[in-house]
Structure 1
Amino acid sequence: MNYAQLLLPDFSLILCGYLICRYTALNRSVWQPVESLVYYLLFPVLLFQSIVKSPVDISAASGLIGAGMLSGVIGIALAYSLPHWPWLGKRIDARDHAASAQVAFRFNSFIGLAIAERLAGTQGLLMIAVLIGVCVPLFNVAAVWPMARQGQHSFARELVRNPLIIATGSGLAANLLGFQIPEWAVPTVSRISAASLALGLMAAGAGLQFGLLTRGKALSVAVLSIRHLVQPLLAFALARLFGLDPVQTTVLLAFSALPTASTCYVLAARMGYNGPYVAGLVTLSTLLGVVSLPFALGFLR
């Protein structure tokens, strides 16, 4: 499989957003309202649709769910612990860490869906849909927590008001209850979802400031190492520990090596943090996916 070709559309949209914002009249004053539209409407619709469209059979994938959740919890713990590492803590800005910790454990679900279908067909698609359904709510809560804590906001209030968490939680509940989007609404919802991907990635590109990555070099290396090296190794070990079958092992390895979610930038920017820095991490993570996916699916598998 050509992983570079699979990741090219995402990276191209980020690059388009960067060039349009820097070299045309469509500058930051245009892109800030776009970020709000993506965050409060388009991305929630996308998340809800992606979770409810495939039935979640939890009993048939309990081992995969356990391995995926445990891998995610370890990734979250590692990301949270970075400021307490003796050789790293003094080099980390607390607010940058709060905004970027999510990069270490969140994932691009649409790249994951595309890879799983190509690798294992319908069964692979259903397996990764299960992982998305159970992991996205946990990971979104974990993404909000350090920013709410660092910004001295009420964590419960941030959860209740966060449209991404509301969408994923309601999507999972609807899936478990057997709800399906009515056929007449599917075309409209699908077009909104497609628009959210394009605009979200372009907005991330419009917010890029690569100079900020050099300022937080140690933090950048740490969170990206957890996302693209530690997580695949964890998945390899947990697949053995849980005795996963070949299809589940393949899906878990693909899941562990995905680039981070493009919504990382949107969430950080809307909560008042360093959005351009996180946008740079999203771009680097997309590029690193070209390395981590072959590493997990070729070498480890």
Structure 2
Amino acid sequence: MNFAQLLFPDFSLILCGYLICRYTALNRPVWQSVETLVYFFLFPVLLFHSIVKSPIDVNAASSLIGAGVSLGLCAIALSYSLPYWPVLGKRLNQRDHAASAQVGFRFNSFIALALADRLAGPGGLLMISMLIGVCVPLFNIGAVWPMAQHANKGFMRELLRNPLIIATCTGLAANLMGFRMPQWLDPSISRIGASSLALGLMAAGAGMQLGTLTQGKLLGLSVLSIKHFFLPLIALGMSRLFQLDPMQTTVLLAFSALPTASTCYVLAARMGYNGPYVAGLVTLSTLSGMWSLPFALGVLR
């Protein structure tokens, strides 16, 4: 499988956003409006639709779901623990860590769906959809928590106001209650989802300032190491602990090695944090997927 080809569309959209913002009249004021549209409307619609479109059979996939949730909790714990590591913790910018910790555990769901389809067909798509359904709410809560805490904002107030968490929680509840999108409405919702992905990635590129990465090299290396090296190793351990079958193990390993979510930038920017730094990490994570996916699916599997 050509992982570079799989990841190229995301990377090219980030690059387009960067070049358009820097070298045309479509500069920062334009992209700030785009970020607002993506954050409050396009991404919530995408998340809700991606969760409700595939039925979640909790009983049939309890082992895979248990392994995925356990993997996610380990990733969140590792990302949060960085400031407490000996030597390393004292050299990290606490505010940048609050914004970038999410890069260590969130994932790009579109790449997940494309990869699962190529690896395992319809069965793989169903499995990755179940992981998305149960992990997206968990990961979005995990992403908001450190930023709300560090900014001295009420955590529950931020959760209740966060459109991404509202969309994922209502989507999961709707899925479990058997709700399905009406067929006549599905094409329109799908197009909104596609536009959210493109605009979100371009907004990340527009907001990126590569110079900010040189100021937080140690933090960036630590977060990306968790995402692209330690998570596949933990996923391998979870597959054995939960006694997953070969297809489930393949899906979990692929899930663990995915590039981070493009919404990391939008969330950090909208909550008043260092968005350009997080945008740079999103770009590096997209590139890092070109070696972490072969590592997980070729070496570990």
Amino acid at match of 2:287: L
Q: Shift in Å at residue 172 of structure 1?
A: 0.5
Q: Shift in Å at residue 30 of structure 1?
A: 0.7
Taking the aligned partners of 1:216 and 1:77, their CA distance within structure 2 comes to: 20
Matches within 5 A, 1:31-70: 31-70=31-70
1:50-74 deviation digits (Å, cap 9, x = unpaired): 0001000111111111111111101
Taking the aligned partners of 1:90 and 1:215, their CA distance within structure 2 comes to: 15
Q: Shift in Å at residue 134 of structure 1?
A: 0.4
Runs (5+) with no aligned partner, structure 2: none
Q: Shift in Å at residue 241 of structure 1?
A: 1.2
SS in 1 for 2:192: helix
1:22-54 deviation digits (Å, cap 9, x = unpaired): 000100011000000000000000000100010
Aligned to 2:82: 82
1:194-245 deviation digits (Å, cap 9, x = unpaired): 1100000000000000111110011000000000000000001110111100
Aligned to 1:141: 141
Moved over 6 A (4+): none
Aligned to 1:20: 20
Q: TM-score, normalised by structure 2?
A: 0.99
Q: Shift in Å at residue 90 of structure 1?
A: 1.5
Q: Shift in Å at residue 89 of structure 1?
A: 1.1
Taking the aligned partners of 1:26 and 1:164, their CA distance within structure 2 comes to: 26
Aligned to 1:228: 228
In the alignment, structure 1 residue 114 sits paired with structure 2 residue 104: no
Instruction: State the identity %.
Output: 74
Taking the aligned partners of 1:64 and 1:128, their CA distance within structure 2 comes to: 10
Amino acid at match of 2:240: R
Q: TM-score, normalised by structure 1?
A: 0.99
Taking the aligned partners of 1:114 and 1:8, their CA distance within structure 2 comes to: 13
SS in 2 for 1:86: coil
Aligned to 1:257: 257
Amino acid at match of 1:66: G
What is the aligned length?
301
SS in 1 for 2:160: helix
SS in 1 for 2:272: coil
Runs (5+) with no aligned partner, structure 1: none
Amino acid at match of 1:239: S
Aligned to 1:276: 276
Amino acid at match of 2:166: I
Aligned to 1:171: 171
SS in 2 for 1:224: helix
